[in-house]
Amino acid sequence: MAEIHGAFARKTSGVVRDVSLRDAFIFGISLAIPFAANFFLFPLYEFLLPGADWTTAVIIGFALSFAAYALYASFGSMMPRSGGDYVFQSRGVHPILSFLSVISLDVFLQAPVFLVILMLSSAELGFSPFLTMAGAATGNTWLISAGTWAGSPWGLFTIAVIFVLLALAANVAGLKWVGRSQRYILFPIIIISGVVITALLFSSTPSSFETNFNNYGLILNGTANTYGNLINAATSAGFTAPAFSWLHTIYLAIIIATSFLFWTVWTAPFFGEIKGANNFRNLFLTFVAGGAFQAFFLMIPELAGFQHGLGSSFLSAAAFQGITFTPTLSFYPSFGILTLMTTNNVIVMFLASVGFMVAGYFMAQLFLTNMSRYLLAGSIDGALPLSLSSPSRRFKTPLTALVLSSIVVLVWAAIVDFTPTQIAFWTDVAVWTGPVIFFGTSLSGILFQWTNPSIYKNSLIAKYKGLLLIASLIVFALVMFVFVGYVIIPELEVSLGYNGLGIIFGVALAGLLWYFGFKWYQKKRGIDIGLAYKEIPPE
Amino acid sequence: MAKPVRILFVTDLHGSRRAFLKFLNALKLYKADVGIIGGDLTGKVVVPVVKSNGIATAEFNGQVHTIDSDAKRQEVWKAIEDCGYYPVDLSEEEVAKLGTDLEYSTSLFHDATAERLKEWSRIAKERLAGIGIDVYVTGGNDDYLELDEVLAASESLIFAEDKVQMIGGTHEMISSGYTNITPWKCPRDITEDELYSKIDSMAQKVQNRESAIFNLHCPPIDTMLDRCTKLDTSFDPPKPIAGVDAAGGSTAVKKAIETYQPALSLHGHIHESRGVDRIGRTVCLNPGSEYSEGILRSVLVTMGEKKVDSFQFLSG
């Protein structure tokens, strides 16, 4: 074996990319949506997909997610540019697709609505349960009231405003600081919370949990034997612990893949700021590591602990109550509050909840980064005003794009938080439009070798023959399954109604009008934005 | 009324073969009348390819590549060149000299950069033949002075350094790859006074300042074109200080623009500071650079008779 000799660099200048692949990994796992959404939705899936085995579903979902990891690593290696999906779709298919799916539906609808729901779930899984349970454990009624307020419209909106303003400040300070804050604050806290939650759940038993649940039920709900009432209500309605179902496990695996594990690739919007983003292997491994962290640290141990510490019968009954609200409880049986009910120690409660609290904030930070980078990419192409890609003189970051993104999120926060009876509707809108990004990018991946043959042939991924096409086809098939499944599979049904469809098509139409109007305006100024979408042959 | 001139400006290619080839292709794709490469053609790294016991290896971007076939050699060579690095076949003894013998390593770099530029010149000659697009090239502060001879000898690239040239038949352009003193003490680093004197002597020869173009590698100070990370010069080489910004531009360049007020000034040097600014009536542009990723950043400028009609940043 020959001795290895490193490259010899002369002393010279040049610093461009600020974010390391390690930071990209943390960005990816900061989208550890299970912390703030999956567990929040726990009763929904337990009720809608009875018999699904969560551990098996997570493992299958993780395996399916390799297709998305390969797809995005391939695009990163070919086009490591700011704007991610917007760039991939506009170059691989057509700018109208990218404008519709990324700028219109994602930046102005899906991302902000979903972020609002994530911040809301952070409040309802972190702040509200902690304050409520801390109050219950210490007999402090002020804390119980604060916990109730944190879950009220004004409480939710206040938390959203604080999160968005802090996230805006961090983003304005620069991506380097965003990365550092995630590395030194979010990552350790998530690990602490994950370990504490798992330890709490595995140290609990169904019988000790029954005692705790009844005690807290008496304090919070004012009723004795809350545990028994819950079980009886579900049993008398015919909803009992179901037998294992492969079909529901597969459905759940696809949902876990497309809704949660896929999203570790959502560093794509700032590929242009990641060192080594053009290295397929490293990028792919970064995504796999992020997915593995989610699956094997944030999902499986906690879910297994949940089964172990609370018991299947209770979980089924809790799921029934979470959907039907029968019997009436003064608290929502979310993952957060049920976990905290396994202890009486306020410090332990805080350590278990703090992950949810910070996850909501860091998602605000990441969503603002990504929304602003999509706007920046559209602006660089000339499809949006130049000011959206011009860095601030003082901060060197795309201030206008960040401020616009923050305003969009706060407008949606006001709409969603102050219509508490419509939260399921807004969740459906976000769930429906979520996979649109993957639809567009996987379609681009399918067509790319024919629409951009010279770029594809000259890229390093061309040597992995068929990889891009196969990965894209798998992602495309999974996304189409989700879209169709939401309509025709009763268990997965997401009912948008005319209002939901009207909002989605209205936002899409507004985007189309903007695209053609601004294109015409730019043409008058002598700027042909069509040039921006032409990839330059590299040979 | 003169026909508008479309100028495609790129800068800081730093040896990236991929970025250079994209530039040549972009000239046709964007229907440019004139191309300008604003300096810093030199790459930064030599990658030794060392053969030992019949097996050649190259360490590049954190990965060790074993070269066991002609196809593999071609693939690794291309990947290294696309990033702007220089693959060089060396013996074990020659590699050992790289870290200890400054004269040897400097000579190796000079030879590699000159050879790369000669190759680019040959490719440009083939690609630009018969299409009537003039391509102007200057040095940059990273470029050894010896490279001027290579550029001056080119049959396809027009060497613009230190000259006043008429481009597109209507606009006089002055060009300089020199910059103010940088922490790296590069080959074309000079004092602000010397830099102003250099620019001033060219600018005074310009007949029509209103329609003129300044092609100056270094951007004007305290603009949107010169934002960079502050460097700690107590280290060798200097290290960036995270989160602390600095203005890397030149007071001399700013003063020259303020004094002569050309229609357009084109700059590079600060890769991360792609942007536009205005100094009086002058539109100042820096397209930035992402050469190491193989991305070509450019700005397409349409020049009217006496002013910039429009500009468009592009990357691909």
Could you tell me what percent of chain B has a pLDDT over 70?
97
In tens, the pLDDT along B254-308 reads 999 999 999 999 999 988 888 889 999 999 999 998 887 788 999 999 999 889 9
Please indicate whether residue B65 or residue B171 has the higher confidence score (pLDDT): B171
Please indicate whether residue A332 or residue B123 has the higher confidence score (pLDDT): B123
Peptide bond into B237 cis (omega under 30): yes
CB distance A7–B296 less than 8 Å? no
Considering CB atoms only, which of B48, B245, B310 is closest to A5?
Answer: B48
B89 lies within 8 A of chain A by CB? no
* Domain CATH for A345: 1.20.1740
Look at residue A203 in the predicted model and tell me its pLDDT.
94
CB distance A176–B242 less than 8 Å? yes
Give me the number of domains chain A comprises.
1
Q: Is residue A17 part of a domain?
A: no
Could you tell me what percent of chain A has a pLDDT over 90?
34
CB distance A380–B240 less than 8 Å? no
Provide the chain B residues 142-171 that lie in CB contact (below 8 A) with chain A.
142
Look at residue A368 in the predicted model and tell me its pLDDT.
93
Considering CB atoms only, which of A6, A463, A525 is closest to B59?
Answer: A6
User: pLDDT tier at A221 (50, 70, 90 boundaries)?
Assistant: confident
In tens, the pLDDT along A148-189 reads 888 889 999 999 999 999 999 999 888 778 878 888 888 888
Q: Say if strands B45-52 and A8-9 run parallel, antiparallel, or are unpaired.
A: antiparallel
Q: Is the pLDDT at A38 greater than 70, yes or no? A: no
User: pLDDT tier at A37 (50, 70, 90 boundaries)?
Assistant: low
Q: Is residue A13 part of a domain?
A: no
Are B257 and B214 in contact, with CB atoms under 8 Å apart? yes
Query: If you average pLDDT over residues A34-55, what whole number do you get?
Result: 69
List the single range of A206-210, A310-314, B209-213 with lowest mean pLDDT. Answer: A310-314
3-state secondary structure of A345: coil
Mean pLDDT across chain A, nearest whole number?
A: 85
Cα separation, A103 vs A388, whole angstroms? 13
Residue B277: list chain A partners with CB under 8 A: none
Q: Is the pLDDT at A534 greater than 70, yes or no? A: yes
Q: Is residue A245 part of a domain?
A: yes
Cα separation, A129 vs A336, whole angstroms? 7
Tokens standing for B289? Answer: 């650079």
Considering CB atoms only, which of B57, B61, B314 is closest to A2?
Answer: B57
Tokens standing for A375? Answer: 């706007």
- The CA-based diameter of chain B, rounded to the nearest angstrom, is 70
Are A337 and A129 in contact, with CB atoms under 8 Å apart? yes
Look at residue A325 in the predicted model and tell me its pLDDT.
81
User: pLDDT tier at A33 (50, 70, 90 boundaries)?
Assistant: low
User: pLDDT tier at A267 (50, 70, 90 boundaries)?
Assistant: confident
Q: Minimal Cα–Cα distance from B173 to chain A, Å?
A: 23
Residue B62: list chain A partners with CB under 8 A: 276, 282
Q: Is residue A300 part of a domain?
A: yes
Residue A463: list chain B partners with CB under 8 A: 75
Task: Quote the ipTM score.
Answer: 0.79
Considering CB atoms only, which of A14, A277, A538 is closest to B18?
Answer: A538
Are A105 and A508 in contact, with CB atoms under 8 Å apart? yes
User: pLDDT tier at A15 (50, 70, 90 boundaries)?
Assistant: very low
DSSP state of A270: B
Please indicate whether residue B241 or residue A238 has the higher confidence score (pLDDT): A238
- The domain ranges of chain B are 5-43+109-315, 46-101
Domain extent, residue A291, equals: 49-533
Q: Is the pLDDT at B159 greater than 90, yes or no? A: yes
Look at residue B251 in the predicted model and tell me its pLDDT.
96
Which homologous superfamily does the CATH classification assign to the domain defined by B5-43+109-315? Metallo-dependent phosphatases (3.60.21.10)
Q: Is the pLDDT at A214 greater than 50, yes or no? A: yes
CA dihedral A158, A160, A164, A167 (to 10 degrees): 110
Query: If you average pLDDT over residues A128-156, what whole number do you get?
Result: 88
Please indicate whether residue A126 or residue B36 has the higher confidence score (pLDDT): B36
Amino acid at A173: A
CB distance B316–A536 less than 8 Å? yes
Look at residue B203 in the predicted model and tell me its pLDDT.
96
Considering CB atoms only, which of B48, B289, B313 is closest to A380?
Answer: B313
CB distance A11–B289 less than 8 Å? no
Nearest CA in chain B to A524: B310
Nearest CA in chain B to A539: B21
Please indicate whether residue A52 or residue A8 has the higher confidence score (pLDDT): A52
List the single range of A85-99, A433-447, A499-513, B86-100 with lowest mean pLDDT. Answer: B86-100
Look at residue A36 in the predicted model and tell me its pLDDT.
47
Q: Is the pLDDT at A17 greater than 70, yes or no? A: no
Q: Is residue A172 part of a domain?
A: yes
In tens, the pLDDT along A453-496 reads 878 887 778 888 899 999 999 999 999 998 888 877 776 667 77
Cα separation, B26 vs B18, whole angstroms? 12
**DSSP codes joined into one string, A157-215:** HHHHHHHHHHHHHHHHH-HHHHHHHIIIIIHHHHHHHHHHHHHHHHH--HHHHHHHHHH
Q: Is residue A7 part of a domain?
A: no
CB distance B53–A1 less than 8 Å? yes
Q: Is residue A516 part of a domain?
A: yes
Query: If you average pLDDT over residues A401-430, what whole number do you get?
Result: 91
Nearest 5 degrees, angle CA B301-CA B305-CA B308? 30
CB distance A278–B294 less than 8 Å? yes
Residue A521: list chain B partners with CB under 8 A: none
Q: Is the pLDDT at A117 greater than 70, yes or no? A: yes
